[in-house]
Amino acid sequence: MFDRKKFKESIERILKIDFGKLLDQAKDYEKYYAVSKAIMEFIVDDWSMTEKAYENGKQAYYLSAEFLMGRALGNNLINLGVYEDVKEILNEMKIDINRIEEIEEDAGLGNGGLGRLAACFMDSCATMNLPVTGYGIRYSHGIFKQKFVNGFQVEEGDNWLKYGDPWSLRRYDEAVVVEFADCSVRAVPYDTPIIGYGTKNINKLRLWKAEPIKDFDFDLFNDQEYDEAVKEKNRAEDISRVLYPNDSKNEGKILRLKQQYFFVSASLKDMIRSFKEKFENDFEKFHEYHAIQLNDTHPVVAIPELMRILIDEEGLSWEKAWNITVNTFSYTNHTILAEALEQWWSGFYKEILPRIYEIIEEIDRRFVIELKEKGYTDEKINRVRIIDDEMIKMAHLAIHGSHTTNGVAKLHTEILINQELKDFYELYPNRFQNKTNGITPRRWLKLCNKELSSMITELLGIDEWVTKLTMLKELEKYLDDEVVLKRLLEIKQKKKEALAEYIQKYEGIAINPDSIFDIQIKRLHEYKRQLLNAFHILDLYYRLKENPKMDIVPRTFIFGAKAAPGYFRAKGIIKFINEIAKLVNNDSEINHKIKVVFVQNYRVSYAEKLFPAADISEQISTAGKEASGTGNMKFMLNGTPTLGTFDGANVEIVAEAGEENNFIFGARVEEIEKIKETYDPKEYYEKVSGLKRVVDTLIDGTFDDGRTGMFEEIYNSLLMGASWHRPDNYFLLRDFDDYREAHKRVDKAYRDRLGWAKKALMNIANAGKFSSDRTIEEYAKEIWNIAPKRI
């Protein structure tokens, strides 16, 4: 029971103890901290009871290099069912809940879809009372904060912990030591509660911080060697300092390898310790009590690390250790891009993790013998072996060393089975499954779009849809209800006005809330084709200049994306889009018809404003390249039709909501397979109306790239090929005209306001499949073999 008086007293007490202040003296961040700590007090007993309830049965453990959690306060209040109570209490205390929610920093623990998926999964596991623990790294500075200087991306440190972290508990008593060839470091766990919706269960996210064994050398300091005195401390803390440190040099690659081994070794040692407390050395039971999910290839070094622990430290035979290992691990593949299927030069392993390398060599040696016994040719063996040409292929190790490999969308899994991992599928047909991704409706509708959430509850008469999202299907009965359709449009307009106000405040750009909000928000990568979007905007600009009377619905194009610090071409695309924005937004003849905004520092809290306000969801990756996507699902749930290719989860979105309620364009996977060997982008460059004009702006002086060569490099990548890419490797020029025609269909459809509202409602009503609750239920039953335990 929520004790309002006690909660108020907790806030005032925490302000006094932690900041030495009374309520009327406290700053916003201090109030935020105190409110959050008061919630921690409120849940701590349930958290302890949940751990006790889980400890004697089988549990699952989700190992991920990223957990893109977003802000905690609002989401936790929603899940606890006390948001309105707390809002009222804070009003009585003259605290504005919106101000203190806004002061919270996004936890800098992830970057893109991989990390956000992990966060949605954690929410669903807790909501469904499933015994699942997340394991990762507590990065002190996340990936980076992004700002634009003269249109260029500039990275700054993301000190997300500057106000402290009220949502985690440091558990030094459960620290472990992780050993590398050149040093040892202490892994200190920080536990964050994952609060389920509509349940008392509180799950755990355990993140490891790297600390030195000896943090200060007094003798060196006394000798006035000040830098040397703290060298060990700095080198240790580097391991958990930044997510995905730049690895363009060997030092960066070695740091990334240390990060991966650091968190999986610490996590396995943590599991082994608790297992031995219950079962002593009966390790043949280990896989009966532990299901470990490897989220992509970053944690795959866990396979040889568990072998090392079982053989070297616990004295098991190779055969017993291998049987336990394979039956413990399962692996999620998130990509078919060759460059993203992680490989490591064996020299790094030999230098940093020599014993792990010996074990990988032995796994590979035994695998080759097994394949030869099956009659495999040397050529076929080389296609699947784990070490080839001094490169360790982590995806191969993951598939061979686990009992299940899953793709993350129907199309993605089909491509894995039939193309990219065909040899492995033939070898292990029973190990492959599909688990289409999902999103949590708690954060991505109930929290970020309270108006739409309330309307749905009112129309359905109950709020059970929040945990049973397929109930949204019942909304289809309102498809011809003009009152409901108009109300849906009014809600969208309200969210657009709120976003316009936010963008004016933080980006300094005025946008028209009556225009179509056309939004592409995701990681910046060539295959996601932000460049295709940019080409279309520039083409539309030129057509408007030629024909100022051209009849279009005003359009605001909004981008949000970070480019990896070492990804030169992606950073060039950001600069190109910002140059287009400068051209368009400063042209008084045009800027009332189209505007371009590239929001800075795209993150979860910004996404919570962008998804509900969007009219169009840009999902335009090259067919066959996006494994799934989850942004497409967030847009869909908020009533936004997809403008996209037949790729990833777009395929399933269209199957659920109908192609007539979305806007599909472009070459499909089968066509790309047929043409990719003979494809010549110059044919499209020369023949497609308007295309040459926009592509040539990369080199004809229209735009300024600050003499970096960025724009010319993009141009060359399209028409001549660059680095290892073929010319126009992602078929932008092939799909350009189809994309332009799809935009014309959007313009025409949007004018019929009630017709557009029907498309929006059909997307909402058919979003039920894309709940992460459904995805997690499938993992629990079909991969992890775990059952709910409700306290």
Q: Tell me the C-alpha distance between 764 and 488, whole Å.
A: 11
| Whether pLDDT at 337 is above 80 | no
Residues forming beta bridges with residue 70, ordered by sequence position:
107
Q: Tell me the C-alpha distance between 451 and 445, whole Å.
A: 9
Within 8 A by CB and 6+ apart from 9, the residues are none
Question: Residue 282 burial (CB < 10 Å; 0-12/13-18/19+)?
Answer: exposed
What are 71-82's pLDDT values in tens digits? 999 999 999 999
What are 585-595's pLDDT values in tens digits? 999 999 899 99
Q: Tell me the C-alpha distance between 478 and 486, whole Å.
A: 11
Q: At 3, is the secondary structure helix, strand, or coil?
A: coil
Neighbour order of strands in the sheet with 555-560? 594-599, 555-560, 516-521, 616-619, 642-644, 663-664
Task: Say whether pTM exceeds 0.85.
Answer: yes
| Whether pLDDT at 27 is above 90 | yes
What are 512-533's pLDDT values in tens digits? 999 999 999 999 999 999 999 9
In degrees and rounded to multiples of 5, residue 28 shows phi and psi of -60, -45
In degrees and rounded to multiples of 5, residue 604 shows phi and psi of -60, -45
Average pLDDT of span 87-114: 94
Q: At 476, is the secondary structure helix, strand, or coil?
A: helix
Q: What is the pLDDT of residue 225?
A: 73
Helix spans in 223-377 (H): 226-229, 231-238, 250-279, 286-289, 302-308, 318-328, 346-352, 354-373
Q: What is the pLDDT of residue 226?
A: 63
What are 649-669's pLDDT values in tens digits? 999 999 999 999 999 999 999
Helix spans in 109-249 (H): 113-127, 218-222, 226-229, 231-238
Q: What is the pLDDT of residue 245?
A: 87
What are 451-467's pLDDT values in tens digits? 999 999 999 999 999 99
DSSP assignment letter at 125: H
| Whether pLDDT at 605 is above 90 | yes
| Whether pLDDT at 276 is above 90 | yes
Residue 353's identity, in one-letter code, is L
Task: Count other Cβ atoms within 10 Å, centred on residue 727.
Answer: 17
Residues forming beta bridges with residue 191, ordered by sequence position:
169, 206
| Whether pLDDT at 222 is above 80 | no
What are 345-376's pLDDT values in tens digits? 999 999 999 999 999 999 999 999 999 999 99
Q: Which long-range contacts (CB under 8 A, 24 or more apart) does 181-186 make?
A: 181/351, 181/352, 181/353, 181/354, 182/351, 182/352, 183/232, 183/235, 183/236, 184/213, 185/210, 185/211, 185/212, 185/213, 185/236, 185/239, 185/262, 186/210, 186/211, 186/212, 186/213, 186/236
Q: Which domains does the chain have, with CATH numbers?
A: 4-437 (3.40.50.2000), 486-749 (3.40.50.2000)
| Whether pLDDT at 227 is above 80 | no
Average pLDDT of span 604-609: 98
| Whether pLDDT at 247 is above 90 | no
Question: Residue 546 burial (CB < 10 Å; 0-12/13-18/19+)?
Answer: exposed
Range in 139-153, 175-189, 207-221, 548-562 the model is least confident about: 207-221
Question: Residue 752 burial (CB < 10 Å; 0-12/13-18/19+)?
Answer: exposed
| Whether pLDDT at 218 is above 70 | no
Which two three-digit tokens encode residue 507? 């980006």
**Helical (H) or strand (E) element with 597:** strand 594-599
How many angstroms separate the first and last alpha carbons of the chain? 15
Q: Tell me the C-alpha distance between 703 and 535, whole Å.
A: 13
* Higher-pLDDT residue of 142, 166: 166
Q: What is the pLDDT of residue 233?
A: 84
- Positive or negative, the Cα torsion across 273, 275, 278, 280? negative
* Active-site amino acid positions: 334, 522-523, 528, 630, 634
Question: Residue 5 burial (CB < 10 Å; 0-12/13-18/19+)?
Answer: exposed
Residue 119, CA distances (Å) to 194, 241, 440, 738 in order = 9, 20, 9, 35
How does the average pLDDT of the chain come out, rounded? 96
* Higher-pLDDT residue of 220, 785: 785
